[in-house]
Amino acid sequence: MHPAYSVIFFTTASGAGYGLIGLMALFGVLDGVPADPWFGFVGLGIGTALVTAGLLSSTFHLGHPERAWRAYSQWRSSWLSREGVLATATYVPLILTAWGWIIEGSLEGTYGFFASFLAIFCLLTVYSTGMIYATLRTISAWHNRLTVPGYLVFALLTGSLWFHALTQMFGYQTPEVAMVAVVALFLSFYVKRKYWRSIDTEPGPATPESATGLGDIGKVRLLEPPTMTENFVQREMGYKVARKHAQKLRRICFFAYFLIPLILTGLTSNSEAWIAIPGTLLAAISVSAGVLIERWLFFAEATHASMLYYGAERA
């Protein structure tokens, strides 16, 4: 699959945003962080900026952005539509929670109720993003039981590391946040490793023989494509990354999203502010870069069934 930069940016930015907002809401309700207006403003503000930038960037690749409102209509069948509905609906508890946290300076009572709703809506929105990919039977690498867990843990991972860096900047002693970050690191390591093993060993059910119905004669290979130049389907669905590059990128990705942030978080989170702030900030930046590579690979390593008509051997 062609890794479109707008989609990669959208899913990673919105994942980080929903992760951050969801954790802010959760820790706010459970009194894990103080209901300080400035902290609420900066944290929820960054989260909202990430989510909104992601949503806007996802409309850039549309042929008709002015008709985007129509995407709210088909929530009965389409996960893309559900994602749009949920992403928009999340702004309601987000604004109410932000009002409580920033203006009223409290997440007690009704505002706590709104914040709980906010955390649930963040989870559901990321879940629906994952489902858009997981329900595509045409791409066996995505039609995988680990696709949705992958989207969820990477949202938790990026959100928790940015959240951790923020609490350090505000001088809060929150070992619970560091704990969530470390758990998210190990969880994402486990899920991604299992996902990569799974796509390496399960090449997909469809073959050129089944795609052409010519399997009774023998092995089927493409002799001539329809045209000498690439068509839309080949450009959109035909992106291929060399296996040796993919292996190298997986290693870089592993260092960036797991190893470096794990070491930085472990070494610096209990230190004095002048070490802890840059340390946790660097960890968050490293994770974000790692997740960008992870998302790029998620696309580039996926083979679409239609490529069986253009020389692919399995999909």
CA distance 1 to 54: 20
Range 78-137, binding another protein (CB under 8 A): 78-81, 84, 132, 135-137
A 10 A CB-CB count for 252 gives 13
Long-range contacts of 206-215 (CB under 8 A, 24+ apart): 206/140, 206/305, 206/308, 206/314, 206/315, 207/308, 207/313, 207/314, 207/315, 208/308, 208/309, 208/312, 208/313, 211/305, 211/308, 211/309, 212/309
Q: At what angle do helices 175-201 and 260-268 cross, to 10 degrees?
A: 170
Binder among 103, 179, 222, 263 for another protein (CB under 8 A): 222
Nearer to another protein, 208 or 261 (CB): 208
Binding flag, residue 173, another protein (CB under 8 A): no
What CA–CA distances, in Å, run from 233 to 1, 129, 224, 302? 10, 23, 16, 14
Binding span for another protein by CB under 8 A among 17-25, 34-42, 68-76, 279-287: 68-76
Binding flag, residue 240, another protein (CB under 8 A): no
- The residue count for binding another protein (CB under 8 A) is 60
Binding flag, residue 56, another protein (CB under 8 A): no
Binding flag, residue 139, another protein (CB under 8 A): yes
Nearer to another protein, 67 or 244 (CB): 67
Binder among 175, 227, 242, 244 for another protein (CB under 8 A): 227
Binding flag, residue 216, another protein (CB under 8 A): yes
**Least distance (Å) from another protein to the CB of residue 74?**
4
Residue 184: half-sphere exposure toward Cβ, Cα within 13 Å: 31
Compute, in degrees rounded to 10, the torsion defined by CA atoms 7, 8, 14, 18. 130
**Least distance (Å) from another protein to the CB of residue 126?**
17
**Least distance (Å) from another protein to the CB of residue 21?**
23
Nearer to another protein, 63 or 175 (CB): 63
Q: Which helix (H) or strand (E) holds 93?
A: helix 91-98
**Least distance (Å) from another protein to the CB of residue 13?**
18
What CA–CA distances, in Å, run from 292 to 131, 208, 211? 19, 32, 33
**Who contacts 136 (Cβ-Cβ below 8 Å, separation ≥6)?**
142, 143
Range 274-313, binding another protein (CB under 8 A): 304-310
**Least distance (Å) from another protein to the CB of residue 293?**
22
**Who contacts 34 (Cβ-Cβ below 8 Å, separation ≥6)?**
172
Binder among 28, 43, 208, 261 for another protein (CB under 8 A): 208
Nearer to another protein, 124 or 253 (CB): 124
Q: Which residues are at the interface with another protein (CB under 8 A)?
A: 1, 61-65, 67-68, 70-71, 73-74, 76-81, 84, 132, 135-139, 205-206, 208, 210-227, 229-233, 236-237, 304-310
